[in-house]
Amino acid sequence: MSKSDLFAKYDVPVPRYTSYPTVPQWGRTPTREEWLSSLDRAVTQQDASLALYVHLPFCESLCTYCGCNTVITRDHKRAEPYADLVLRELDTYLAAVPSVGECALRHVHLGGGTPTFSSPTELARLLDG
């Protein structure tokens, strides 16, 4: 495909890339039971693996182009209780769908936000969890 064909192909308005499936594809929000059942089916498939996204929303200042779900603050102490909640959410998943804990974790993406807003110690605690 030539460069001009590529430009023609991709020079179109598209949804923001930060969610998959993208927002226009979203239908009805699943119930908790539907979501956990779907997760259980996915992780118990043969050769299943997980890609994990952890949203760390904090930034010290707001970029002019930001469209992310972010919390602007210079109070770095806020990262600790947030990490506690993320780890509690993980425990909820592990209790509801134990097979999640046995599935290979192939990718971890820390997004935000600015992941380095958290201290190295705090990030290590989160990733260890």
Is residue 113 within the footprint of ligand SF4 (CB under 6 A)?
Answer: yes
Shortest CB 25 distance to ligand SF4, Å? 23
Neighbours of 70 (CB within 10 A): 18
State the number of binding residues for ligand SF4 (CB under 6 A).
9
Among 70, 79, 83, 126, binds ligand SF4 (CB under 6 A): 70
Among 8, 62, 105, 108, binds ligand SF4 (CB under 6 A): 62
Counting Cβ atoms within 10 Å, is residue 45 exposed (0-12), middle (13-18) or buried (19+)?
A: exposed
CA atoms of 125 and 56, how far apart (whole Å):
14
Residue 118: name the closest of 83, 66, 88, 72 by CA. Answer: 83
Is residue 59 within the footprint of ligand SF4 (CB under 6 A)?
Answer: yes
Is residue 73 within the footprint of ligand SF4 (CB under 6 A)?
Answer: no
Is residue 82 within the footprint of ligand SF4 (CB under 6 A)?
Answer: no
Shortest CB 5 distance to ligand SF4, Å? 32
Is residue 105 within the footprint of ligand SF4 (CB under 6 A)?
Answer: no
Which parts of this chain interact with ligand SF4 (CB under 6 A)?
A: 59, 62-63, 66, 68, 70, 112-114
